Amino acid sequence: MTPVARHQPWLAWFALIGSAWVFVLVALGAFTTTIGAGMAFSDWPLSNGSVNPPGWMSDIAMFAEHSHRLSGTTMGLITIVLAVGLARCEARRWLRWLGWGALAMVVLQGVLGGTRVLFDAVAVPGFAMSLGQMLRIPHGILAQLFVCLLFAIAAGLSRSWCEGRLGAPGTVVRRWSLATVALLVIQLAIAATMRHNHAGLALPSFPLSSPAGDLFPPDWNFLTGIQFAHRVMALALVGAVFFQVRALRRDTGASSLLLSLGWLLVVELALQIALGAAIVWTQRQVYLTTAHVLLGSATLATAFLLAFLAHREALEAGESADPRRLAARRQPLPATFPLEHSV
């Protein structure tokens, strides 16, 4: 495969920093939700009317929520620099659009987080959850998709991507990679719904559904149903990851990096299932629950990265098909790409 763009180390490293920091944000958000500290402050964007509220370092609920807000602000600043850097320095249109997409998503996340606080007392007829409490679910789901978007940008800026050293896997690998990502997104949506409806212990035993040894929930309702769906989806993911790794091993066009990501996915999924069991056995221990959310985000990121890398040629096909862009890539890019070339 031929090079698609000049590798820009500073921008690639900055994207990696953003991809790492997002897990700090996810971890703090997960911890805040786990201990029920989402309403430690009733105002937004300030916390008790201040950017540095008194006592937040000594109160665990205030510390969790305010740290989450500060880490979100930091993530927003990182994303702004990344989006502007891509717009000014990156020749590939699709990658510039990913940068602006990441910026739009982080703004939307901030708005969702804020309205969750401001609308916490707004009742929704026919539902036990208030409007603010309902907004926690899309806020949690969007956070996982934001992680994937940052990973896509970091991958597209990497030296291996730019120099075409990622192999060319076949159709079977690409299809299984997409199927795994789709199942993980569904699983995380189920998990967010379950988590914010406090259904994590709706089935009090594991792996069976009741201490009496029932395979299926003895009492069906929304809470037990969503918890059981979460467990069934875990089994579906085991099957999908198995077939994906088998396809990677048989595909001579798959690079060693893709196969390594496949095996990493196996390890992450095994640990995730073990953490899920431990959460039930320990009656939702705080740090285990937080780790389960964080590892779920990392598992989706790994699966998405594998799928994204496996589709490199298709993503770059549009750029290569444009003679003007192809000619531009054959010329060395200046140290600072002119603004008029980025639009």
Q: How far apart are CA 102 and CA 83, in angstroms?
A: 8
pLDDT tens profile 70-123 = 999 999 999 999 999 999 999 899 999 999 999 999 999 999 999 999 999 999
The CB density around residue 211, as the number of other CB atoms within 10 Å, is 8
Q: Count CB neighbours of 245 within 10 A.
A: 19
For 85-99, what is each residue's pLDDT tens digit?
999 999 899 999 999
For position 315, what pLDDT does the model report? Answer: 81
Please give the Cα distance from 213 to 332 (Å, whole number). 67
Token match 């320990």: residue? 282
Residue at 327: amino acid letter: A
Contacts of 237 (CB under 8 A, 6+ apart): 180, 183, 184, 187, 269
pTM for the complete prediction? Answer: 0.88
- CB-count burial class (<10 Å; 0-12, 13-18, 19+) for 173: buried
